């Protein structure tokens, strides 16, 4: 369903788009070309979503202009609530309505009242959470006077509809996108090489790593009662690698597409599995989402609860609330809510622990192979992997069954030996241990010698030619 970054159709689509963009001299022409191509891209996922994002963009633009012109605080607040409603309304209607009905039905059932649930969503909108959050951040930033409102509707429409980020992010804020856009599409030879590098690395992550793992991992996650404990452990670590390779691969390709047009996206993954604590993990995993929740939910909660004297209790409460909503953002399911709650409790526990430790202890030793650092990494990764069980299974019943069979080390069931899970996990682990987690090798590669660059690009192309499985699967985060 729809164009995917790894399809030959998308490569053709991107090539035509780039050709026309760089052949056009005027910014207004390029703007309309990008709008047209964004609509064509999104049209492959259905007409309904295209209408929703268009209406949302128009309302956000009007709200932004009114917030910029209105002097009275009461009037500004009314426009702010109108903008938030325009962005949250589609989320509640199309993504969470069934979940809300399910909760209401559970409360009414003991009273003898039965509520029938719809078998399918009224309308499935790809990327709804992403463009809704982009719109919310714009409205709030204008209200807080962090940015000036967009001056032209086509420019703002292009921001919200921009196809490289439309379906699965990263969540690019207007403050980062619009200034670049207004300067035109200035691209150098280095930008072109780096953009192609991102596309190649992202394709390898997705097709060579994530999709090779997908068949065995999905089989294990779907029916944990059929497999023994060792196989379930393999499924857990396999999913840990798969979700990272899949989503960071998508992000790399989105960054690469934008870079080929002269637009720079923020980094979204910074070697998260090398983190020594859960707070650092969330500074490195899905960075644009975690910073969004920090800036637009956690910090306002902190400001609004300054009357609570116990700072640890206040921060812990606000962290848990933030992460519960972060879990719910991922989907209308108790699995996601519990996943967010687990991370919220872990963050709160670490916050309480860290406040009583000296700064040098919190920073660690600086050596990746120091026993204390390795132990901290193992503890952090254990919490993350347990969370992925909640995230990757379809129901809470399956998740608890999965965790229970591992915890009791059940020996009954099928022993599945995957030829991909352990080797690819070892490869990922070594990469996270030996590569400096603050470096970006894709950006740096363009500064290396021609020989090193040619060999690297040739190796990536060879991996794509030889190791791509026959069956590919959709990007995981597109459904959010």
Residue 229 CA, distance from chain mean position: 30
> Looking at 22, 109, 226, 330, which residue is catalytic?
330
C-beta separation of 168 from 206 below 8 A: no
Ramachandran assignment for 214, one of left (phi > 0), alpha (psi -120 to 50 degrees), beta (any other): alpha
Secondary structure string (H, E, C) spanning 383-431: HHHHHHHHHHCCCHHHHHHHHHHHHCCCCCCECCCCCCHHHHHHHHHHH
Identify the bridge partners of residue 54 per DSSP, sorted by sequence position.
none
Active site residue 109: no
Helix, strand, or coil (residue 227): strand
Cβ contacts of residue 173 below 8 Å, gap of 6+? 134, 137, 138, 141
Write phi, then psi, for 449 (nearest 5 degrees): -65, 155
Q: Residue 58 and residue 50: Cα distance in Å, rounded?
A: 12
Q: Residue 7 and residue 44: Cα distance in Å, rounded?
A: 13
Query: Quick one: DSSP state of residue 150?
Result: P
Q: Which two tokens stand for residue 148?
A: 């000036």
End-to-end Cα separation, the chain, in angstroms = 15
Burial 169-197 (b: 16+ CB within 10 A, else e): bbbbbbebbbebbeeebebeeebbbbbbb
* Among candidate residues 183, 182, 184, 158, the one with its CA nearest the CA of residue 172: 158
Q: Which two tokens stand for residue 244?
A: 């990272």
Q: Which two tokens stand for residue 324?
A: 């519960």
* Among candidate residues 97, 4, 2, the one with its CA nearest the CA of residue 49: 2
Q: Residue 167 and residue 130: Cα distance in Å, rounded?
A: 7
Burial 110-129 (b: 16+ CB within 10 A, else e): eeeeeeeeeeeeebebbbbb
Cβ contacts of residue 334 below 8 Å, gap of 6+? 396
* Residues carrying an active site annotation: 330
């Amino acid at each position: 369903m729809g164009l995917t970054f790894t399809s030959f159709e998308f490569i053709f689509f991107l090539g035509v788009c780039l050709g026309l963009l760089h052949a056009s001299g005027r910014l207004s022409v390029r703007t309309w070309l990008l709008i047209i191509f964004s609509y064509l891209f999104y049209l492959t996922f259905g007409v309904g979503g295209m209408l929703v994002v268009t209406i949302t963009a128009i309302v956000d633009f009007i709200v932004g202009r009114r917030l910029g012109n209105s002097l009275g605080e009461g009037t500004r607040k009314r426009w702010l609530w109108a903008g938030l409603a325009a962005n949250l309304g589609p989320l509640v209607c199309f993504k969470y309505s069934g979940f809300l009905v399910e909760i209401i039905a559970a409360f009414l059932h003991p009273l003898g009242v039965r509520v029938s649930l719809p078998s399918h969503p009224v309308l499935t909108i790809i990327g709804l959470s992403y463009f809704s959050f982009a719109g919310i951040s714009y409205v709030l930033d204008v209200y807080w006077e962090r940015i000036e409102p967009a001056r032209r509707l086509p420019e703002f429409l292009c921001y919200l509809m921009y196809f490289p980020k439309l379906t699965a992010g990263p969540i690019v804020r207007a403050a980062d996108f619009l200034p670049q856009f207004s300067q035109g599409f200035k691209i150098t030879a280095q930008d072109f090489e780096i953009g192609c590098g991102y596309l190649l690395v992202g394709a390898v992550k997705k097709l060579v790593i994530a999709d090779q793992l997908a068949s065995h991992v999905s089989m294990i996650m779907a029916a944990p009662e059929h497999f023994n404990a060792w196989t379930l452990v393999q499924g857990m670590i396999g999913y840990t690698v798969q979700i990272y390779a899949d989503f960071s691969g998508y992000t790399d390709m989105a960054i690469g597409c934008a870079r080929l047009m002269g637009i720079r996206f923020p980094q979204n993954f910074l070697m998260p599995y090398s983190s020594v604590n859960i707070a650092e993990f969330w500074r490195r995993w899905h960075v644009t989402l975690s910073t969004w929740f920090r800036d637009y939910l956690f910090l306002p909660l902190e400001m609004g609860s300054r009357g609570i004297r116990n700072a640890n209790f206040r921060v812990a409460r606000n962290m848990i609330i933030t992460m519960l909503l972060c879990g719910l953002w991922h989907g209308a399911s108790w699995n996601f809510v519990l996943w967010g709650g687990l991370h919220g409790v872990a963050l709160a526990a670490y916050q309480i622990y860290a406040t009583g430790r000296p700064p040098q202890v919190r920073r660690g030793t600086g050596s990746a192979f120091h026993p204390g650092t390795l132990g901290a990494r193992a503890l952090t990764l254990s919490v993350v992997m347990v969370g992925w069980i909640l995230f990757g299974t379809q129901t809470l019943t399956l998740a608890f069954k999965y965790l229970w069979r591992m915890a009791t080390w059940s020996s009954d069931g099928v022993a599945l030996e995957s030829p991909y899970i352990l080797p690819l996990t070892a490869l990922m682990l070594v990469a996270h241990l030996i590569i400096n987690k603050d470096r970006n090798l894709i950006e740096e590669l363009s500064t290396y010698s021609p020989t090193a660059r040619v060999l690297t690009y040739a190796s990536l192309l060879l991996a794509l030619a030889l190791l791509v499985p026959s069956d590919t699967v959709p990007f995981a985060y597109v459904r959010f």
